[in-house]
């Protein structure tokens, strides 16, 4: 038994919090549980602290067996400035965990009134702060709120997997043939995705960059509306959503472009086209977020009035939001998730899309599914994707496997595949060498090759090569801002067009970073980039004597990222705006330049919203942004800068996500190749029970 005296267990974990290995929240929760039950076993208190600590790192629960087997993976510092976790905390933890085995730990947890044992199917009192779940071989300890989220997600998906739609195969085949021109979908996976989703109440379409996820979903929506209208049914009520404002705006633009080019030549073609929605809402707006509350206007008692919801960039959706979404759907409403299963998981707890798609690469389609797909689509499914023991969830997931954007033999496509693929042990050891060799070969590529890649090896962030990258990258939009300035006599239409041009040019290049703090994090990089661009006369930082103290850290050309939803301004987390000096007539009739921040309207209209800087309370300068914040965005040229020392946040998923933000060019910036090597072999494995309890298991 671990010592529970004043100088014992709680005092020891207090030192962990001081060292940064635990959050103050983790320590406070542990103390609260102790106060509620002064006789609480220290093994239970340790589990509480670790479950809370894991939650802070995105895990839905504490995997008890993994904690005993790999204690070094616990107490990893949540700070991202390169500071290493405290070594003494790990030594303490190993000593504590060495005092009992898994069976003993489970016995102690089950004895505690703070723990509800759902593992053995016992009654749940509904109030205990901890829940024991998982399986006998992989027991999991949850904070109750996260157990409830996960339970609601699994229940909502399972209920939809039990539903199916009997589709007339001849009509389905005819509509697919009309939507896909002969030879257009050579691999057949887009047709397969449409067919599987059309017959399912829950479906996932996953795939890497350029595999046609948006193209597929537009044709799927046309297929669904076409089948409904041809069958004499009313059109489906469909809503489109995305996790962030930026992702919603991107989907909005993509959907609108593709709808116009749909081959809808049948008798109901234009009616079908008119029934495909183009408006994309953020999930918060769709569900009806309430200020200062976790609750939404739409829930089980007041569900969304829709037949189908489609969510893009679903890898960014955390367990709390996914649970809220499923709860807000009527039992007969359908849900389709789109996303890249291999991207970074959500910032908050959970990796829902990744958990659900763990078996997607091998498909696991039943022989009956293969036969139906052959009849309904004409596409053949290779034998390697057939599994007579496939689960219900497997039959509702389609993975798009062909990239139409990049050549597979080189550039961005080859780099993303090399980083992302699971390799045999002897090959995985050489992954770093293979990546560096690929960069070396690409030096011979033509400068205008689509998907080109490059690597820059820096001495430090003061290296002239870094300054050159930054100046070349951001010169375009800053020059556009200066050269296309409409002058003092511009009307609103002209000013809006100026802002549109600058925002478009700003999306040509983006520097991405893994960390927030330190010289290699976004805070230090943004300060340095401002200095570089100022010295190059691309930014004018001279203060206007008429500006207030608040406004003096604002300057024309400053790009800003919204970090919190602001419904009063119509701005969402992830929106990017540009600060511009615009002419405004003063009370004395004179024109004077004042700063305003221009944001895209975000509704597909091409409009511009002009916001006073003083009204923007939650924004960051965004010459450099974290890879996490870049999700849902794409840039013509993306550059990823790695820190000079290893860090737990550096993972294969982070590298892959950074690479796949690039549409035409990608640059890797690094100092130590060993840091890249460690990142390539570190995978994000967030603990959850979704993969244990889902029908695919």
Q: Exposure string (b/e) for 237-253, b if CB count within 10 Å is 16 or more?
A: ebbbbbbbbbbbbbbbb
In this structure, what token pair is assigned to residue 289? Answer: 């977020």
Taking the C-alpha atoms of residue 37 and residue 245, their distance in angstroms, rounded to an integer, is 45
Low-confidence ranges of the chain (pLDDT < 50): 1, 4-7, 78-82, 86, 425-426, 428, 446-447, 549, 694, 696-697
Q: Tokens for 360?
A: 């997607």
Distances in Å between the Cα of 534 and the Cα atoms of 149, 423, 498 are 48, 46, 22
SS3 category, 400 = strand
Which CATH class name applies to 411-681? alpha beta
Q: What is the CATH topology of the domain spanning 9-143? A: Arc Repressor Mutant, subunit A (1.10.10)
Task: Tell which residue, 438, 407, 409, 443, has the closest CA to residue 430.
Answer: 438
Tens-place pLDDT, residues 516-526: 988 899 999 99
Element (H, E) at 257: helix 245-260
The tokens describing 373, both together, are 């797909």
- With the CA atoms of 284, 285, 286 and 292 taken in that order, what torsion angle do they form, in degrees rounded to the nearest 10? 50
Q: How far is CA 653 from the centre of its chain?
A: 11
- Answering whether pTM is above 0.75, one says yes
Q: What is the pLDDT of residue 143?
A: 95
Q: Strand, helix or coil at 69? A: helix
Name the residue ranges covered by the structural domains of the chain: 9-143, 168-405, 411-681
CA–CA gap between residue 530 and residue 581 (Å, rounded): 17
209 is in an annotated binding site: yes
Q: Would you say the CATH fold of 411-681 matches that of 9-143?
A: no
> Which CATH topology does 168-405 take?
Rossmann fold (3.40.50)
Distance CA 647, CA 81 (A): 9
In degrees rounded to 5, what are phi and psi of residue 407? -75, 135
CA dihedral 258, 261, 262, 263 (to 10 degrees): -160
Is 476 annotated in a binding site? The answer is: no
Instruction: Judge whether 212 is annotated as a binding position.
Output: yes
Read off the pLDDT of residues 158-210 as tens digits, 9 standing for 90 and up: 999 999 888 888 889 988 988 887 766 666 899 999 999 999 999 999 998 88
Q: For position 317, what pLDDT does the model report?
A: 95
- 207 assigned binding-site residue: yes
Q: Is residue 5 a known part of a binding site?
A: no
Tokens of 106: 């489970």
Question: In the prediction, which pLDDT does 427 show?
Answer: 55
Q: Judge whether 208 is annotated as a binding position.
A: yes
Cβ pair 192, 381 in contact under 8 A: yes
Instruction: Tell me whether residue 267 is annotated as binding.
Output: no
| pLDDT reported for residue 426 | 44
* Token reading at 227: 């089948």
């Amino acid at each position: 038994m671990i010592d529970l005296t004043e100088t014992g267990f709680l005092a020891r974990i207090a030192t962990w919090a001081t060292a940064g290995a635990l959050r103050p929240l983790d320590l406070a929760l542990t103390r609260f549980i102790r106060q509620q039950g002064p006789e609480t076993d220290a093994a239970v208190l340790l589990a509480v602290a670790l479950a809370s600590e894991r939650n802070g790192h995105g895990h839905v629960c504490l995997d008890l067996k993994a904690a005993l087997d790999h204690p070094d993976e616990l107490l990893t510092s949540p700070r991202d400035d390169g500071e290493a976790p405290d070594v003494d905390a790990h030594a303490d933890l190993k000593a504590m965990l060495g005092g009992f085995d898994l069976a003993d730990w489970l016995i102690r947890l089950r004895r505690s009134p703070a723990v509800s044992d759902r593992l053995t199917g016992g009654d749940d009192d509904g109030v205990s702060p901890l829940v024991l779940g998982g399986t006998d071989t992989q027991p999991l300890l949850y904070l109750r709120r996260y157990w409830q989220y996960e339970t609601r997600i699994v229940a909502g998906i399972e209920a939809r997997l039990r539903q199916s739609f009997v589709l007339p195969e001849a009509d389905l085949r005819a509509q697919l043939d009309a939507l896909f021109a002969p030879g257009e979908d050579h691999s057949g996976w887009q047709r397969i995705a449409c067919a599987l989703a059309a017959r399912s109440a829950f479906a996932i379409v996953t795939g890497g960059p350029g595999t046609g996820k948006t193209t597929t979903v537009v044709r799927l929506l046309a297929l669904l509306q076409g089948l409904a209208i041809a069958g004499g049914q009313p059109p489906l009520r469909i809503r489109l959503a995305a996790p962030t404002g930026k992702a919603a705006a991107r989907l909005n633009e993509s959907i609108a472009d593709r709808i116009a080019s749909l081959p809808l030549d049948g008798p109901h073609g234009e009616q079908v086209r008119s029934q495909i929605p183009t408006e994309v809402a953020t999930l918060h707006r769709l569900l009806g977020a309430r200020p200062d509350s976790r609750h939404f206007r739409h829930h089980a008692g007041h569900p969304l009035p829709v037949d189908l919801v489609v969510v893009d960039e679903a890898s960014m959706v955390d367990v709390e939001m996914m649970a809220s979404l499923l709860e807000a759907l009527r039992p007969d409403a359908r849900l389709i998730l789109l996303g890249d299963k291999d991207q970074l998981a959500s910032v908050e707890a959970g990796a829902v899309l990744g958990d659900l798609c763990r078996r997607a690469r091998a498909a696991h389609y039943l022989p009956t599914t293969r036969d139906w797909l052959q009849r309904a689509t004409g596409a053949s499914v290779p034998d390697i994707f057939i599994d007579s023991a496939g689960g219900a969830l497997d039959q509702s997931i389609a993975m798009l496997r062909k990239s139409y954007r990049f050549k597979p033999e080189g550039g961005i496509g080859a780099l993303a595949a090399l980083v992302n693929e699971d390799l045999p042990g002897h090959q995985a050891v050489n992954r770093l060498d293979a990546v560096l060799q690929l960069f070396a070969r690409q030096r011979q590529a033509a400068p205008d090759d689509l998907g080109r890649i490059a690597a820059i090896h820096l001495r430090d962030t003061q290296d002239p090569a870094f300054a050159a990258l930054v100046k070349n990258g951001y010169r375009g939009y800053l020059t556009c801002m200066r050269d296309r300035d409409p002058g003092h006599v511009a009307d609103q239409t002209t000013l809006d067009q100026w802002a549109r041009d600058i925002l478009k040019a700003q999306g040509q290049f983006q520097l991405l970073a893994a960390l927030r703090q330190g010289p290699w994090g976004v805070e230090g990089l943004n300060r340095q980039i401002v200095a570089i661009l100022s010295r190059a006369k691309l930014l004018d930082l001279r203060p206007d004597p008429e500006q207030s103290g608040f406004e003096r850290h604002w300057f024309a050309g400053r790009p800003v990222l919204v970090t919190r939803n602001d419904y009063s301004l119509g701005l969402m987390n992830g929106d990017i705006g540009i600060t511009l000096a615009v002419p405004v007539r003063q009370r004395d009739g004179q024109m004077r330049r004042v700063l305003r921040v221009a944001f895209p309207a975000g509704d597909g209209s091409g409009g511009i919203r002009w916001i006073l800087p003083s009204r923007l309370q939650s924004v960051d300068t965004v010459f450099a942004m974290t890879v996490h914040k870049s999700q849902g965005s794409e840039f013509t040229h993306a550059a990823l800068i790695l820190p000079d020392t290893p860090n737990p946040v550096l993972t294969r998923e982070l590298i892959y996500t950074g690479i796949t933000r690039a549409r035409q060019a990608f640059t890797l910036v690094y100092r130590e190749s060993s840091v890249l090597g460690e990142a390539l072999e570190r995978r994000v494995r967030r603990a959850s029970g979704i993969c244990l309890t889902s029908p695919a298991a």
